[in-house]
Structure 1
């Protein structure tokens, strides 16, 4: 698989993998505000197979991980590697498989196990959201945001809706084959440790990936930091952008 990507800035390489089914534009929208006034980083935003400019291929996460690992060989030094949601699941898998190519690992709202039934998820919020907070959101997207968002305001809903709508460019046929056939990485349960600087960022209200499994996964990251944002769900970078920028900045400062 050949992966399309977009590069911003110059300096040390940071490779970012986006949410499942969303193209690299979602990662651009999440991370570029972090680098305003923060020079020295070359941000590489990747289209995963079946999204944006990257064609589908073998519909397995193992094959997609191999494509990402191959991309990392094109850099003349180990890269900082970040991923959101499914992109974080893959990034963790890359760090297990080729740790020498990964200078640091950032997992944002990332699932630890890919099977939804096996995830430890928080209860649904007991406080009802503001009336009309999803008004104006496309009917096909509103149920997803009602589940995915922890900061349930009209402003956040519009912000996330704009990003998702603009970047949902996936090859549905490929993605539909990937989900049932090969979604799980073959070494998901391996007790492999990644020794580099890692950070696991979660939302307390994330009803998709949760936050508890990520805390348990810290045993795999001896130099790992963990954060849970109380008023965020699965789209932490857009729900709490200032908090996200601070957490990413702290991780960047730890990289060798």
Structure 2
């Protein structure tokens, strides 16, 4: 392993497990310390961020979050700002939920938990998970059974309880637009051009607020750009990590040995 590489924290999105990051972790195999932290164990963004930080080695590290994981990544920066060597934000945003968005999430929670809050709505959860497909992938991928099966299998791994906790965490998250201008580490913002969940305008906004950000628009991709167009997204992430490592060396910071 290269001793001049920065440890990397990765955070999955809604109904995703560590496999959402497989294109990147496969490309980085053996190159640096990489930890994928779950985002479905708590119903508060701050708690998920706290646990993720605790899992990282001492010293500086880079963090990248996908979708819901992007909200957690920004909270990681809030909690551990002095340790953040780089910030990657994929298919996400910096704004808090609108009241309308909160109501949509609450309806999904109620559907999953059941009308009486019994928590037995696993079949309904399966329907919810499958129903997301038409919104989270590009139209050209709607017949990609391998991709759709992976999305459903990840959702099944997270489970109905994890899904509910993720939705509650998302609906109560903070607006982080005040934080981003203070993040002077190398940053990367990535979004699919046809993302219906977190539109490209949200990525443009984040990139404009970050002092040192590259903005990458991924053609022919929806919300799941990292799985729909992995070569493009991984190339951008590897380029970003090169900037992070270079900045650490130039600053003379002690990059954790790996």
Q: State the SS of the aligned residue for 1:41.
A: coil
Judge conservation of contact 1:19–1:87 (CA < 8 Å) in 2: yes
Judge conservation of contact 1:18–1:48 (CA < 8 Å) in 2: yes
Q: State the SS of the aligned residue for 2:140.
A: coil
2:230 to 241, 244, 247: 241
Q: State the SS of the aligned residue for 1:176.
A: helix
**Counterpart in the other structure of 2:27:** 34
Cα distance, 1:108 vs structure 2: 1.1
Taking the aligned partners of 1:9 and 1:43, their CA distance within structure 2 comes to 13
Cα distance, 1:171 vs structure 2: 4.4
Cα distance, 1:199 vs structure 2: 0.2
1:103-143: per-residue Cα shift (whole Å, max 9, x none)? Answer: 1111111232352657xxxxxxxxxxxxxxxxxxx976553
Distance 1:80 1:209, change over 3 A: same
Judge conservation of contact 2:45–2:71 (CA < 8 Å) in 1: no
Taking the aligned partners of 2:50 and 2:27, their CA distance within structure 1 comes to 28
TM-score, normalisation: structure 2: 0.73
Moved more, 82-91 or 16-25: 16-25
1:149 to 137, 150, 153: 137
Taking the aligned partners of 2:229 and 2:77, their CA distance within structure 1 comes to 27
Taking the aligned partners of 2:90 and 2:238, their CA distance within structure 1 comes to 13
Distance 1:13 1:149, change over 3 A: same
Q: State the SS of the aligned residue for 2:76.
A: helix
Taking the aligned partners of 2:165 and 2:12, their CA distance within structure 1 comes to 19
Number of residue pairs matched by the alignment: 218
Taking the aligned partners of 1:143 and 1:248, their CA distance within structure 2 comes to 29
Q: State the SS of the aligned residue for 2:95.
A: coil
1:221-236 correspondence runs (5 A): 221-236=210-225
> Which structure features the higher share of helix residues?
2
Q: State the SS of the aligned residue for 2:185.
A: coil
1:179-222: per-residue Cα shift (whole Å, max 9, x none)? Answer: 24763333535355211000000011000111101111223310
Q: State the SS of the aligned residue for 2:197.
A: coil
Distance 1:101 1:194, change over 3 A: same
TM-score, normalisation: structure 1: 0.73
Where does the alignment leave 5 or more consecutive residues of structure 2 unmatched?
102-125, 248-258
Q: State the SS of the aligned residue for 1:16.
A: strand
Cα distance, 1:223 vs structure 2: 0.8
The reply on whether 1:19 has 2:13 as its aligned counterpart is: yes
Judge conservation of contact 1:150–1:231 (CA < 8 Å) in 2: yes
Q: State the SS of the aligned residue for 1:152.
A: helix
**Counterpart in the other structure of 1:135:** none
Taking the aligned partners of 2:87 and 2:236, their CA distance within structure 1 comes to 13
